Structure 1
Amino acid sequence: MRAFVGLPLPHDLTDRLDTLAMGLRFGRAVPAENMHITLAFLDDQPEEVLAELHEELSGFSSRAPEIEIKGLDVFGGGKPRLLFANVEPNEALTALHKKIRQAARSVGIELSHERFRPHITLRRFNRLHPGEHQELEHLIAAQGAFSWPKFQAPSFDMVHSVLSHEAAQYETLASYPLAP
């Protein structure tokens, strides 16, 4: 079962980000209901392992991180792979990320060693044509300073992800409350 652990987002924020991403006519848009902040991508795991992780996460006592959205950017440099909204890292968010990764490792899940750069994916790209590069640059120039008032995430979720040609289908397997 393909899964991840992430922070859900307020609907007014995802609606606004969805509107921003609609400014592009290319790439695969992430539906507003799928937008989140990934804390740990678990990849494909047996249900038993996810059940063990659920037990670990159920015993967590963590402070709710304050989330601050500042700016739009791309991963991939000259060959953009995705457009995202940048989430400012902070101590509570990084600590939650580390605790979740430690819990995943404790039940035998091997995780990639990527640097944690919190973000909200808005669009994914394959290969951009010259006109599309210009359109993407224009969107970032016009909307790149996007920001959102700080908010606290009240919980984090374990989510099952089923890939399809259109957009991934997400099913929340469990939610874990965070202390204010």
Structure 2
Amino acid sequence: MAKRRRPEGWRVFFGLDLPVHLRNRLAVEALALRLPRRVAPEDLHLTLVFLGEVPPDRLQALHEAAEALSMPGFALRIEGLGLFGRSAPNALWAGLAPEPALEALQAKLETALRRAGATPEKRRFVPHITLGRFPPQPPEEAARLERAVVAGSGTGSDLFEVRDFILFRSHLGGDPPHYEELARYPLRTRPPLTTL
């Protein structure tokens, strides 16, 4: 008896877009660090909730759950660099300064998606922007990357406004993957930033 193929889902996640000037700046940083594989500037983002494969007919319920969220906008700031893969680094990222509003958005969104029937990835939320992914590096290259992270610990940015979040579809056919925006969800506006 032939095995039935399960219907293919769409690989999706919710995340935050970055201002163009900040994406370009981070791309230059990744280039200067001579990363083996860099994320293209247009694909730099911050993942809020990764859902993995979702059948297209279930996306409407997730869309409606996200659309029903009412959260205020907030501001973020890039702060420092880091590596994933302790003994064998396989990704370099830019971190973000702690921001309770970001943590609240992520938690509320994940809860709403679970109630809508989604099964988000079970991983502690560590706000970051991946700059490059690569196979585990030989010891001398891993040591170079670790030194670069220490040297880049002062990496930062001015505050930037977060006015919405996005449902992305991830296309894995290319190398690196490409991300397509499916829907954008506005946050409530807040007074503009003021300089003290």
Structure 1-normalised TM-score?
A: 0.94
Mapping of residues 5-84 of structure 1, within 5 Å: 5-84=14-93
Query: Distance between the aligned counterparts of 1:165 and 1:135, measured in 2?
Result: 28
Please give the secondary structure, in 1, of the residue aligned with 2:137.
Answer: coil
Shift in Å, 1:71? 0.3
Instruction: Give the corresponding residue for 1:170.
Output: 179
Please give the secondary structure, in 1, of the residue aligned with 2:149.
Answer: helix
- Structure 1, 82-91 or 154-163: larger mean CA deviation: 82-91
Structure having the higher strand fraction is 1
Shift in Å, 1:20? 0.7
Larger C-alpha radius of gyration, 1 or 2?
A: 2
Query: Distance between the aligned counterparts of 2:114 and 2:68, measured in 1?
Result: 16
In structure 2, runs of 5+ residues without a counterpart are 1-9, 191-196
1:41-96 C-alpha deviation (Å, 9 max, x unpaired): 01000112111111111122111132121101111112112100001232110110
Contact 1:24–1:135 (Cα < 8 Å) also in 2: no
Contact 2:49–2:121 (Cα < 8 Å) also in 1: no
Shift in Å, 1:143? 2.3
Query: Distance between the aligned counterparts of 2:113 and 2:87, measured in 1?
Result: 34
Task: Report sequence identity in percent.
Answer: 38
2:125 aligned with 1:110, yes or no?
A: no
Instruction: Give the corresponding residue for 1:89.
Output: 98
Match of 2:167 among 154, 158, 164: 158
Shift in Å, 1:130? 2.6
Query: Distance between the aligned counterparts of 1:45 and 1:27, measured in 2?
Result: 31
Contact 2:166–2:184 (Cα < 8 Å) also in 1: yes
What amino acid maps onto 2:110 in structure 1?
R
Please give the secondary structure, in 1, of the residue aligned with 2:122.
Answer: coil
Match of 2:151 among 139, 142, 151: 142
In structure 1, runs of 5+ residues without a counterpart are none
1:91-132 C-alpha deviation (Å, 9 max, x unpaired): 110110011101211121112221111000001121201331
Structure 2-normalised TM-score?
A: 0.86
Q: Spell out structure 1 runs of 4+ moving beyond 6 A.
A: none
What amino acid maps onto 2:138 in structure 1?
H
